[in-house]
Amino acid sequence: MQTALAEFIRDTPEGREADAILRKCVHCGFCTATCPTYLLLGDENDGPRGRIYLMKQALEGREITDRTRLHLDRCLTCRACETTCPSGVQYGRLLDIGRKLVEEKTARPAWERVKRRALAAVLPRRSLFALLLALGRLARPFLPERLAEKVPASAPAAGAWPAPRHPRKMLALAGCVQPSLAPDINAAAARVFDRIGISLFEAKDAGCCGALRFHIGYQEEGLADMRALIDRWWPMIERGGVEAIAMTASGCGVVVKEYAHLLRHDPAYAGKAEKISAITRDICEVIDAEHARLEPLPRKKGGRSAFHPPCTLQHGQNVKGVTERVLARAGFELTPVPDSHLCCGSAGTYSILQPKLSGQLKRNKLSALASGAPEEILTANIGCLAHLQGGTEVPVRHWIVALEERLS
């Protein structure tokens, strides 16, 4: 595609990156077939090709309207378009640049600004989120159904965290909302890792990975969260003998793997970010590599489970079929799930900001997951887990929790 970027952005790092991405797009439209919002709305501007064109116009200096912002807001950032594109268009990176520009050049209505500010203030703060969740649980019986389904009645018990005993060490991220919603996930991962000869631990006071604020329109604050997390991790990576960072939430994993890119122009952090991205793995990648140690361990087989691969894992990190392989080797019977490449509608804060589209995607996903009559639904990201659990009586769990149960 030919481009003529406007002077205000042409010679900036963002302008050069956007230009290179835009030039790769041949406008073939293959990506529209896998775009969840295009499939629901049937509007070219609610598909990747149309959004790319809208961003191109914005970058070329054309007027940016509220309609432009609306179509970009409706994008889930699921990146299904990216893994479909035959030309290697990095849509996600273009969207980061496009959204920043649109945020700067348009004014959101006051209510929308308040809502976004509140989400950006509450969700990344673990204790504040925990407090509000506890209050939400008390008020749950009086909440409208749409809100009540976002507040799980209780959280599963975490269980014991094994004492460090192995020379091999890996870091896990507690994250911001996961410890309150599902404290069992990291503890279960630590117990599985312990059985395969790896001691997993969390860095004290490590906060949010930065994804939340970065993707909700506060990119500088998101970058500040990333730097703060690097500061917490760095002493353990430099002197603590940590060989990898094992992520239990694919939504955080995808962003930490991109720290190298996001902080590449920051001389104080570029080197550290590069190292951190290079050693970051989703836990399925770690366990898959250690399968010889894991395979003899499961004590229980059978049971039908449906696996939902989060977009942040299959499209964002391009890790496809690995969790399924780990589960199959451990004796899980995985039921077929049609359209498993499509987003469930969780997508960070999308379920709060775009409830109608998100709700429809959730219903579609749950019906696809239920089609093989599973006894439980497994996934790999806390956002998808909480979102899906709000719409079904079938238990939804992180796959590592189900795997650990079979080893116990």
- Give the interface with ligand SF4 as residue ranges (CB under 6 A): 25-31, 35-37, 48-49, 51-52, 75-81, 85, 87, 89, 91
Task: Report the nearest approach of ligand SF4 to the CB of residue 352 (Å).
Answer: 17
Q: What is the torsional sign of CA 123, 127, 130, 135?
A: negative
Task: Report the nearest approach of ligand SF4 to the CB of residue 266 (Å).
Answer: 26
Place of tokens 């629901």: 40
Question: What is the DSSP pairing of strand 396-398 with strand 242-247?
Answer: unpaired
Work out the number of other CB atoms within 10 angstroms of the CB of residue 223: 18
Nearer to ligand SF4, 45 or 323 (CB): 45
Nearer to ligand SF4, 87 or 335 (CB): 87
Task: Report the nearest approach of ligand SF4 to the CB of residue 25 (Å).
Answer: 3
Task: Report the nearest approach of ligand SF4 to the CB of residue 68 (Å).
Answer: 14
Nearer to ligand SF4, 76 or 173 (CB): 76
> Sheet holding 333-334: strands in order across?
333-334, 304-308, 376-379, 396-398
Task: Report the nearest approach of ligand SF4 to the CB of residue 256 (Å).
Answer: 19
The Cα–Cα gap between 271 and 264 comes to 8
Nearer to ligand SF4, 312 or 323 (CB): 312
Tokens of 77: 């950032």
Task: Report the nearest approach of ligand SF4 to the CB of residue 39 (Å).
Answer: 9
Task: Report the nearest approach of ligand SF4 to the CB of residue 20 (Å).
Answer: 13
**In one letter, which amino acid is 79?**
R
Give the contacts of 290 (CB within 8 A, at least 6 positions apart).
196, 197, 198
Could you tell me if 36 and 80 are in contact, meaning their C-beta atoms sit under 8 angstroms apart? yes
Nearer to ligand SF4, 85 or 101 (CB): 85
Nearer to ligand SF4, 83 or 335 (CB): 83
Q: H or E stretch including 171?
A: strand 169-172
Task: Report the nearest approach of ligand SF4 to the CB of residue 76 (Å).
Answer: 4
∠ CA 11-15-20, nearest 5°, is: 110
> Sheet holding 242-247: strands in order across?
199-202, 169-172, 242-247, 280-282
Nearer to ligand SF4, 219 or 248 (CB): 219
Task: Report the nearest approach of ligand SF4 to the CB of residue 59 (Å).
Answer: 15
Nearer to ligand SF4, 215 or 272 (CB): 215
- SS3 of residue 265 by DSSP: coil
Work out the number of other CB atoms within 10 angstroms of the CB of residue 277: 18
Q: How many CA atoms lie within 13 A of 393 on its CB side?
A: 1
Nearer to ligand SF4, 73 or 266 (CB): 73
Nearer to ligand SF4, 19 or 333 (CB): 19
Could you tell me if 346 and 384 are in contact, meaning their C-beta atoms sit under 8 angstroms apart? yes
**SS3 track for 199-223:** EEEECCCCCCCCHHHHHCCCHHHHH
The Cα–Cα gap between 285 and 283 comes to 5
The Cα–Cα gap between 52 and 50 comes to 5
Task: Report the nearest approach of ligand SF4 to the CB of residue 406 (Å).
Answer: 34
